[in-house]
Amino acid sequence: MKLTVFAATGGIGRLLVDQALDAGHDVTAVVRNPARLTRDVHAVTADLTAPDPEALRGAVEGADGVLSAFGPTSRAQAGITSEGTRAIVEAMQATGARRIVVVSAAPVSTTPSPGRPNPPKHDPGEGPLMRYVGAPMGKLFLGKHFADLALMEDILRESGLDWTSVRPPRLTDKPLSTTYRTAVDRNLRNGALASRADVAHFMLRCLDDPGTVKQAIGIAS
């Protein structure tokens, strides 16, 4: 497949590029600094915090799948993901590209947004520790980030594209296991961690799985 990877030098993006190339896909990497790429791929220079529509259209035109690991690298950058994703969506709509898989986060399942103002108060996959300690603490420190991811999911739902939002809990740098668990529209019981390698692996799997289209999917080790 012809794939476009956004944020291709980040923690998950780099693994998406590696795994896609190893599987024989044709990869276009969209990055702010192509010098940081560690694999020989076609690169498009673009900054999703100040998007260039023409560059983004060129990056996604003809793509069989678009994968986005775009997100903030600090709490101060909370708010950038939804606008960056909006720019990707508009480029895809302009060029006819259809399939997009993005990284979200587990707490978004219970985070309200304009398009989803009344989410469940508690995720059905949460155990007591996560429900009463982990989730409230996470939202206390990263609430703005989760609200922005919830808005990103609104943008995808309204886009008309064939989207999937992957919602991992806390990310680790453990190696690929392929034994991770997933669940549609809920988080995983006792699922406090997920490796970036497993998230990348699942995102690539989603491209060939029609059952993941227009779904938010929890993932955990």
Q: Where are the domains of the chain?
A: 2-220
Cβ(43)–Cβ(13) under 8 Å?
no
> What would the pLDDT profile of 13-56 be if each residue is shown by its tens digit?
999 999 999 999 999 999 999 999 999 999 999 999 999 999 99
| Model pLDDT, residue 143 | 78
Per-residue pLDDT, 138: 63
Length of the chain, in residues: 221
* Single pTM value for the model: 0.93
Band of pLDDT at residue 134, cut at 50, 70 and 90? low
Read off the amino acid at residue 35. Answer: A
Q: Tens of pLDDT along 199-215? A: 999 999 999 999 999 99
Q: Domain 2-220 is of which CATH architecture?
A: 3-Layer(aba) Sandwich (3.40)
Distance CA 12, CA 58 (A): 23
pLDDT at 187: 94
| Burial profile 92-112: b = 16 or more Cβ within 10 angstroms, e = fewer | beebebbbbbbbbbbbbbbbe
Cα 88 from Cα 66, distance rounded (Å): 9
- Per DSSP, the three-state class of 90 is helix
Distance from C-alpha of 41 to C-alpha of 178, rounded to nearest angstrom: 25
pLDDT attached to residue 124: 80
Unique residue bearing structure tokens 């799985």: 209
